[in-house]
Amino acid sequence: MASKLPQTPPQPLRTNDGDSVVLERRAQKTKPPQMYQVVMLNDDYTPMEFVVMVLQQFFSKDRETATQIMLKIHLDGKGVCGVFSKDVAASKVDQVMDAANQAGHPLQCLSEPID
């Protein structure tokens, strides 16, 4: 992790009475974290019901939403399962891949940054 250069402290402003000091507040601008979408890829071997189960279990989708995503994956070749921070997206991909491997399915899942 790269460190930032230290910011210069706010400059004190003197009031007319000479005794009190007021510090000028500078707003800090922080960028929101880079978000990643978890994408599931279609294959000809993984059962549709398994994909629906994975979407329900790991992405907290209801049955109807999971079925819609599964059909999008099936028809378009890939589908977005959710949008997360980098670490959470990587964990979701690992969970899906582990579940697919344990069940003996070649299901593929990946995360990609959102522009």
Three-state secondary structure readout of the chain: CCCCCCCCCCCEEECCCCCCEEECCCCCCCCCCCEEEEEEECCCCCCHHHHHHHHHHHHCCCHHHHHHHHHHHHHHCEEEEEEEEHHHHHHHHHHHHHHHHHHCCCCEEEEEECC
Residues spanned by the domain of 109: 29-113
Q: Judge whether residue 115 has pLDDT over 90.
A: no
Asked whether residue 18 is assigned to any structural domain, the reply reads no
Domains identified in the chain, total number: 1
Asked whether residue 2 is assigned to any structural domain, the reply reads no
Asked whether residue 87 is assigned to any structural domain, the reply reads yes
Asked whether residue 43 is assigned to any structural domain, the reply reads yes
The predicted-structure confidence for 12-46, as pLDDT tens digits, reads as follows 555 556 667 777 888 888 989 999 999 999 999 99
Asked whether residue 45 is assigned to any structural domain, the reply reads yes
User: In the prediction, which pLDDT does 13 show?
Assistant: 57
The predicted-structure confidence for 54-107, as pLDDT tens digits, reads as follows 999 999 999 999 999 999 999 999 999 999 999 999 999 999 999 999 999 999
CATH number of the domain to which 59 belongs: 3.30.1390.10
The span from the CA of 18 to the CA of 5, in Å, is 33
| pTM score, whole prediction | 0.74
